[in-house]
Structures are given as C-alpha cells and as structure tokens.
Amino acid sequence: MPAAALLNDPPGTADALDMDGNKELAQRLRVQVESVMDRLRPGLLVDGGNVEVVGVSGSGVVSLLFQGACAHCPSQLATLRFVIEATLRREIPAITQVVPVEPRAA
C-alpha cells in the first residue's frame, strides 16, 4: 500500500491503521475485497478509469481511491454506492461501509 495513500485515509480505515485491533480479519477482508474489485475493474477501465483499494478495516470499512477518468466523473458517487458498495456488501457480508479517499495534491 502506498504510504501517501495512508495519509489520506479517514482514521481507522487503512489496514495499517486498524484501530479495532483486528488486523487478521482486516487482511482476510482485503483479499476478498480485492477479488471482487478485480471483477468490477474492467467496467471502469473501459471508460478510462480505475479504483484502488487503499484500506480495509476489521470493522468492515473499505477505503477506495478513484483514478483516471473516475477521479472527476460526475457519476462517481453513484458508481461508489450503487455498484461498488452494493456488490461488496452483497458478496462480503462483513463489509459495513465503502468510503472514497481524496487524492493527494501533487
């Protein structure tokens, strides 16, 4: 995980900052989240975008960074809530929330 990404995470959302002390669960959830995202990613890539999984906490909070065309897309919130979050929560019941992470200024 890029160190810069950790600086952007809301407190407790990144694996390395898992405040609930359940790092093993966070790591297992991250593997599952990455697997689901690998299936969703081609739809984003077709439109010139992408999404990076920045962190997954043991409490089920997933932090995502939108990239490329997705970073400034007016449909970003709809994609987050109705496609990505809905799919993750349906396929991984332990996921409680999916939050966007702001990109770092260059």
pLDDT in tens, 56-91: 999 999 999 999 999 999 999 999 999 999 999 999
Task: Domain ranges for the chain, please list them.
Answer: 17-100
17-100 has CATH 3.30.300.30 classification: no
CA distance 89 to 34: 13
What is the per-residue pLDDT for 20? 55
pTM: 0.78
- Strand blocks (E) in the chain: 49-56, 61-68, 97-100
Asked whether residue 54 carries a pLDDT value surpassing 80, the answer given is yes
pLDDT averaged over every residue in the chain: 83
Asked whether residue 27 carries a pLDDT value surpassing 90, the answer given is yes
